[in-house]
Structure formats: structure tokens, C-alpha cells
Amino acid sequence: MRSVFPLGASAGETVEVEFLGHNLNDSMEIAFARKDIRAEVLSSDYFRLKARISVGSGVPTGLHDYRVRTSRGTYVGVFHVGSLSAQRELEPNNDLAHAQKIALPAMVDGVVEEADYDVFRFHAEAGQVLVFDLLARRSGSRLDGTLGVLDERGNELDFND
């Protein structure tokens, strides 16, 4: 599997998820370890699988194992169930002038293309504690992301690689 988008949903939500990879044309099922997370295969071809995933309202937050089963083998992955509704990244948001406004607290779903920057604008109070969590690696992505926090003038306040 090359990519999965979005990587998760909130408890009680139903989302359409796109899996990209190879040999997906005969995808038979997506099975979750939990019975209250259900998946329905909508369509599949060699490179792409589309599914509808429904997360029960009582599913706890965290990473939940699933398996995509095809005639050629099985892919094992994790699906993130969060406590926040997801906000989708909107392009263009590659620089301060086009920063996407988000309201905190937030979970943001996005896709990073080659040489892509995603810039978000939000309000924070002096001394406020914020937690930023890049979920890509734990969900099987090959993304080696970095995170920078800038002030309203673009001065770097913090950076993590």
C-alpha cells in the first residue's frame, strides 16, 4: 500500500477512504479487529481501492488494526479514531499569504505532495499549551514530515524534524 486518505475518522462518523497501491483490483474485504468499525468496498482497480468506513459511536480514540484482503495477499494497517472532527486541508496553503485558517482544537487531514508545504493559521493565547501530533509514520506512511510554528510575521518560534 502506497497511501491511505484520510487516515482516520471520529467516533460516530462515516468516511470515504481511498487506498492507493498495487494489485487492489480484486479487493475482497477490509476487516477491522473491532466489530464496531465496519468497511464496505465501493470500488477497486489495480491501483486504487475506495471504501466507506463507519466508526461506531463507542469506539475509543486511538489506532485500530485493519486488513485489506485480496486474492494476492493481505495488507495490514492502522486507522486512527480521534476525538475531534476532521478539517480537510485546502490548497493552496503553501505560504503565509495563503495559510488555511483553522479553529482549535483541530485534527487536520491532508495530502503532502512532493516539495509541498502546508501552512495553517490559528489563534493562540500567550502561554497556551498546544500539542501538535503528526500521525503519518504511525499509520504506515513513508512521509518524513517536519513541523514549524511561526508567529503572525513568519518568525519561527519552534521547529521539529
Q: Based on the domain organization, do 93 and 40 belong to the same domain?
A: no
Full-model pTM: 0.86
Predicted local distance difference test score (pLDDT) of residue 141: 81
Which parts of the chain sit beneath pLDDT 50? none
* The residue count for the chain: 161
Q: What's the CATH code of the domain at 8?
A: 2.60.40.10
For 62, what's the count of Cα atoms within 13 Å in the CB-facing half-sphere?
6
Q: Based on the domain organization, do 118 and 154 belong to the same domain?
A: yes
Question: Cβ–Cβ contacts within 10 Å for residue 2, how many?
Answer: 11
Q: Based on the domain organization, do 23 and 68 belong to the same domain?
A: yes
Counting the structural domains of the chain, the total is 2
Dump pLDDT digits (tens) for 138-151.
887 888 889 999 99
